[in-house]
Amino acid sequence: MNNGKQLRRHRIFRADGRAVVIAMDHGMFGANPLGNLREPDKLIAQVVAAGADAILTTPGIAASFGSAFGRAGLILRVDGGTTRLGGSWGQMSQLFSVTDALRLGADAVVAMGFIGGAEEKASLASLAAVARECLEWQVPLLAEMMLMGAASENPAPENLTTAARIAAEMGADFVKIAYTGTPESFQSLVESCFVPVLMLGGDSKAETEILGQVQDAMHAGAAGVAMGRNVWQHPNPAAMTRAIADIIHGK
């Protein structure tokens, strides 16, 4: 990784090479219910105080609530174009430039990569365009990889492993991807991907289940998590963030 990217990466990952990233980009796609995300400024302040290393969010939230971020890094979503009302998730494309993200103070950007469906070619082309800008401006790229088509109906560990590797090959500096189901299969994914891997949380789960997955993912070599609904739909987002941070940073 080049020097500019290294400097920005240190604003997201701690000295132990791990990161707790709380995702708050769901409003961009019409998420409902919003839970504690209804008041972004309060939520950001709570999770940062509880140990979040970075916030993954949208241009609107970054522009409106920048003072709430404190020491936390900012990962800005630069793609979109579909909502839950439209339903065509795989048709997302780049909406904002990397320079737009830099103007808002971003330390990294995030973009989707859809693998396995008819949308794959256009999605990877969009991801490549973002990666190209990130290289030019020395901004780390987080690729959020999701399976589509038949692969999404049976998210086999080997397909998730393939998606993570493709992200690295496309120029992502770190990858956000679903848990594969077992520590052994997730370890295989991590070992097959030559950039850091963050486990995503996905649909809301019982607290014990999601914390167990975080524990297993970390034992398997994950660099942390990028988690949203399992934090901001929780009755106590600060306590949930603290529990995740304790696992990831070994407290």
- The string of pLDDT tens digits covering residues 171-184 is 999 999 999 999 99
Say which residue the tokens 């941070």 belong to. Answer: 245
Tell me, rounded to whole angstroms, the distance of Cα 18 from its chain centroid: 13
Domains of the chain: 3-248 (3.20.20.70)
pLDDT score recorded for residue 204? 85
pLDDT score recorded for residue 126? 97
pLDDT score recorded for residue 162? 96
The tens digit of pLDDT for each residue in 101-114 reads 999 999 999 999 99
Inter-residue contact 166 to 113 (CB < 8 Å): yes
pTM above 0.85, yes or no: yes
pLDDT score recorded for residue 149? 85
pLDDT at 1 over 60: no
pLDDT score recorded for residue 251? 67
> Which structure tokens are listed for 150?
């038949």
Distance of alpha carbon 137 from alpha carbon 48, whole angstroms:
27
Which whole number is the average pLDDT over 221-235?
Answer: 97
pLDDT at 139 over 90: yes
pLDDT score recorded for residue 155? 78
Task: State percent of the chain over pLDDT 90.
Answer: 87
> Which structure tokens are listed for 89?
């998730």
**Residues forming beta bridges with residue 75, ordered by sequence position:** 56, 108
